[in-house]
Every structure is written in structure tokens, then in C-alpha cells.
Structure 1
């Protein structure tokens, strides 16, 4: 039987999030039921709640950076037990049969991955999935992740989206010790990119328009800071980067960053899911340079990222909030007034 639980969501694009009740399915043989203890606030939550990307089905319950404890497992579940600390990221299902799924790239499922919220719910036809702004969630065991015991659980929540979004391209393009890596933009994604690139042994350069972010970037692990509006310094660094991770979340001019790449080097976009400004073709033709993109990561890769964080004590820098303050937090995210990720203490939802 399904269960009615407490959640926080919105019923319209211009309405605040508020307390509501939703239905969760009963755990089936392959399912894990999780009591949610912490949930990160991602800018994607805001885009969806406010229907800024279109396609939002209301009511919507956001949240895909979920940390919790296992409270029940189905009879076929062998890798999790009651009491385990676990995570759930941006996906809760996929077809498991297409070429992408067989390659552990469930995020690119050719039949459409089931995302943690606002996706058609295959278990309850005619409904959509509800996310982590809730007291509990039921997820197929293949989409549940082990969270290392030694890491601070609230700081682990954003790893399920901001973490894997930046880890995946660094690994795919084989960033390694000695490489010169630029991270453009110091926000929720950028601060994780700096931490990961540094931990992988790269010469890590924070690229920003804001000189006041220099000290923060160095505290996070950046070896140097490059001010992108300083033409002389940009010229001095031209043609010297092996890889650039571009986390800017809005349309922008890519030309200054393309000039920084070496021959055959890549700039990967992970932030701007919208039209970009035109760039000069010569900036990639003269040097056989590449512009690429990347979307989160598969479940296997996400587990590898979490294990790496456990080994290297890497966490997101967070500000903890109560569920009742999420509308204020949304406004602060939009105005870049957070270092660097909000995490909701889900105990507050029970009040």
C-alpha cells in the first residue's frame, strides 16, 4: 500500500513552496526505503519550481541531493541494510537495457531516464516523481548510493549533483597530475570543480571576473586565480590550459576562454543550459580545440566519486537551513548569496 507523507513543494510557477502531503509507493522487492535526513538545494530545483525551463507538472516537490538512512529493504536487496547511510541523486530509474545504460551512462538513457522529480512515474502511471523535500523516499536499489561513513553527511548532500556534475568531465577528459586546469565561475559547481581538480593533482586555476573571490578560491585549493577581465594576464596565459571546466550558469561570451586552451584541448560546459552567445570559429579551428558538454554522471561513476570524497575528505561548503526557510534560500541562490550550497535539515519538516 502507498503511504501519505509530509513534503514541501509548490502548485504554481509564481507560488511559494509550502507544506503539503504526497503519496509514496510501498517498497517492492528491489526497493530501498530511505528516511531523508538532509537535502541540498540545487539551482535546477528553482528552475523547475518556477517553470523556467518549461514542462513542469504541478504540484512539484523538488530535491535531488538526498542523504538519508535506510529504514526498509525489499526481499531482493542485498547491497543495503537498515541503518546504512545512503544517497540518491538526480535519477531514480532508467530502462537498464539500452546501449547507454549498459555502459553505465544511465543519465543518457535512450528511452529516457526517470529523474528524481518531475518525471513520469513508472510505478504509478499517470503521476510524476516527487523529490527529496520530503520525509522519505522509495528508490530502486540500483539507484541508491553508499555514503562513506567518515564524511560529514550534510556536506555530502550536494555531491549527489554539484559533485558528480564536476567530477564526471574531469574524469572523462582524464585530468591528471601536472595538467593545467581552469575552472570558470566560483559557485556551487565551480567550488567543487576546484576541489576535485586540486585533489587529482592538477595545477588548478580559478578563472573569474571577480578579484574579491581570489582568497576564497585559494582556500578551496586553487593554485592561482586568473581575472578574466584583465586582458594582459589573459594574454599571458593564452594557449596554456589542458582543460577548462566552464560552470557559468547563463549565456556568455566563450571567446576569451577558448583562447586559453592548448592545441587539442577541451572546454567543457556544465552550467549553461540555454542559448549561448556566438563564438569566433577561428578560436577552435586554429588549434583543433573542442567545446564539449557534460550532464551529471552514471550511478557507477557517482559511487566512485563518493568513494574518492571519502578517501580525500572532500565535501561541499554549505549553509544549513530549515525547510521553512527554503523560499528565502531560493531568492538568495538566484542572487548568488550563498557559499556555496544550501542544505536543508529535513528534521525541520517534521515540525
Structure 2
């Protein structure tokens, strides 16, 4: 039977805190139909080698062996207040909600210890021919992007323990509320000497925002198994790219860069939609070319790119929070 792409579904089983933070988990039955996922790729990554010896001469090899097998992939789509926390839990570690409804989940980039992540088992397929599960899916890169009249978009790269044949569960389609640019309540733009969230920019000043976090995660092979049953985590990197209208406020930073001054900024964007909210904060150093006279529908803009930089008062370089009506993601 032919499978059309519109028949494909993506479901997730969660394993919050089920194992040590450096260990992938076993197969998990999906419990949620993930909303906002527009594309998701899955690939098996076998390590297969043909062995040479002094037996067949010019013919090369007569023996092959499977050294190991792992999984990888990617995901992209639009964010919602209810389901973005699945990805943030997977990236930044399991957040414990506070409040009695609405509930607030706070996130931060790790500083001293690796996060205890909500490792996901992602199932993709259709209900007729079948599906496959990426066991132990874990983000190795995650990007959020927003521009006017658009949703808050995400895309990321995944590693996993393995792929296994599976089947979709009969799950309801959950109601969610997309996070859109129209929900932006405030934008903050502060110097490193200032306080995060102190100085407000006019909303129309921000033309685009792109936050990318890159945890240095790699799956790790062990003896006694074909699959890579553990992962290791190194120092994180991250970038913030923003396009700002060129005006008196942003000209100060342009002048600092072209004058050879070290330019470090703190950025915050707040979303609000009734009882729902989202906040993203980033501290960084401008370390790439500044495009001064970019064109945004006839309006001159300046584009800044910053590398993550730990701020001692802020106590980090990236923090986020999501407020919604969901008390339990399991």
C-alpha cells in the first residue's frame, strides 16, 4: 500500500528522569501526539566495515561485519505554549512546574552539571503500513526563530540510541495555542553593565530573532552491544542573531562595533497570550560582522550576531520560561 506524506504522524513517549542523565532509555510507548511538527527525519546510522586480509588478492574483501548501529534525524515546525516544553525539557533538562494553574516551567543552560533531560522516544509513521521509533531521541542543536506576522519556528538535530519497528498508538489530537509574533509583549536590549530586562525597545524595532543552542552531545559506543547506549556532553555553544531597525538607540551599538569597542548585550523577549506566556533571555558578545544597512521592506536595519557569554549577575547566558495550563507532560 502506498503511503502519502499527509498520512504520517509523529508521536512521543517520554522518559523523564527514568535513567541517569548520560544513559539512553529503552523503548517507550507513545503517550502524546506532538503538535507543530511539520517535518521530521529519521535515519539509521550503521557502522559497517568490509574486512581485508591476504586471502582473495585483487578481489578485495570476502567478509563484512556490522560494528554498531545508532540513529539520527531532525525536526522542524511551529511552537506552541503547550508542546514547546517537550523540546525544552529534552534540550535543557526536566523542568518542574510551579504554580497551581497556570503553570510555569523555568529553563537555563547548564553551567556546572549536565542536565537530566526528558529523553524522548519518537515514533513516525502511518496507521496502515507501520511506523518506526527513534529510541532515546536527544537534541544536539535547537533553534528558535521569529519575525513579524509569523509563528515562533523551531528546528533541531537529533541523535538516538537506535531505530526499531513500531506502530502508532490511538491518541487524541491535543488542543494547543501557537506562539506567534503578535504575542510579543516586550523586547529588552541592555548592556552588560546593565540589568537583564531593564531597557525596553519599541516592538517594531525587532525585525527578526534567531536563538540557536548547541549542546556538545555525542552518542557513545560500549562493549557488549551493537547500539550506542550512552552519550557524553561537553561545553555548550550558542548564538543570538537579531535584526533591529537602524535608529538612535541601535546606532549606539553600531558605533561601538565600528569603533573597535567590545560590544556585549543582554536580550530578552516576552510573549503573552491571555494566561499563557513565554520568555527567552540571552547574554552574548558581538563577534561577527555587523550588517549595517540591511533592507527590511524599505526600512534600514542593522543585523547583529552574538556568541553566548556567561554573565555573572544574570548567572548564565541563556534562560527561558513557559507558562501554560499543562501540569504534567508525562
TM-score over 0.5 (shorter chain): no
Q: TM-score range by the shorter chain?
A: under 0.3
More strand by share: 2
Higher normalized helix content (fraction of residues): 1
Q: State the TM-score, normalized to the length of structure 1.
A: 0.27
